[in-house]
Amino acid sequence: MDTVHTLADLRTAVDHWKRQGHSIAFVPTMGNLHAGHFALIKAARSRADRVVASVFVNPTQFGEGEDFESYPRTLEADQRGLADHGCDLLYAPDVQDMYNTAAPRAAVHVPVVSDGLCGERRPGHFDGVATVVIKLINRVTPDCALFGEKDYQQLMVLRKMAADLDLATEIVGIPTVRESDGLAMSSRNQYLSPAERRVAGQLHAALERCALKIKQGEQVEKSIETERKKLSKSGFRVEYFELRRARDLAEISSPASESVLLVAAKLGSARLIDNMRFRHEGPSQN
């Protein structure tokens, strides 16, 4: 696997592959890679002739007081892991290479789907995500770009952006990779203390119980409130726990034919997010 750090070197490599008629799959990351990221690389390998990954800790998606400075940067380990899992090229730019103009700079805002949930708790976050992703896609020019479904709202934002801006790149969601107790894999899980890690799997368990009760006919508000209280008793500080329509994150008060439960909660210094999609066979809000 080769590693490049500049746009010029990236384009040289990609242009060479395209002249040979190769298809390209792209996996953007912020590094500190784990099995969830490598599942994206594996899926990318099955979809294209060449796989490009990026490692870039994007400052524009971090808010004031968030963990931009302390976010783990493990480039050498990431390089080894990507090479071992079949990545062909790593693009690891610095901030100057990515944002080579002084502020203010152009930015992308995806309305409605960016609102609420994490968009409400992290103002400007999804503008930063959408902007850096479209810059990366414009640089790599891949046939498809792969993202984990753990960040469900992010996936919906990027799909809406791609549709609205007529991007030729397909935005592909890949199922969440989990630990043995159900905890969604995340680079931020390392912020958990040993005691916190022992209870962190309860976040996914709460989603499972809530989805089951709703499918069995229990009132949505009652099911969610019960699980919120259980999480709070276990030490979670719940930011949101909501039911949305899966295809577009529209607010609903009763299940749609395909719904998604989304939760965000802090446990110690770690902010954890998760979701669960499920089908509902009875009367629904479509």
Task: Parse the chain into domains and list their residue ranges.
Answer: 2-174, 187-276
- Whole-angstrom distance, CA of residue 159 vs CA of residue 130: 10
CATH level 2 (architecture), domain 2-174 = 3-Layer(aba) Sandwich (3.40)
For the chain, the average pLDDT equals: 95
Residue 221: both structure tokens together = 């508000």
Q: What is the pLDDT of residue 103?
A: 66
- Residue for token pair 């409400």: 120
C-beta separation of 280 from 215 below 8 A: yes
Give the mean pLDDT of 83-112: 91
Q: Which residues pair with 174 in a beta bridge?
A: 148
Is 141:125 a contact under the CB 8 Å cutoff?
no
User: Hey, do 2-174 and 187-276 end up sharing a CATH topology, with the first three levels equal?
Assistant: no
Please give the class, per CATH, of domain 187-276: alpha beta
Which segment of 91-100, 101-110, 111-120, 166-175 scores lowest on mean pLDDT? 101-110
Inter-helix orientation angle 125-140/7-19, to 10° = 50
Q: Is 37 a catalytic residue?
A: yes
pLDDT tops 90 at residue 80: yes
Instruction: Kindly name the residue from 37, 85, 125, 204 that is annotated as catalytic.
Output: 37
Question: Measured between alpha carbons, how far is 263 from 281 in angstroms, rounded to an integer?
Answer: 23
Strands (E), 143-197: 144-148, 170-174
Residue 184 burial (10 A CB sphere; 0-12, 13-18, 19+):
buried
pTM of the model: 0.94
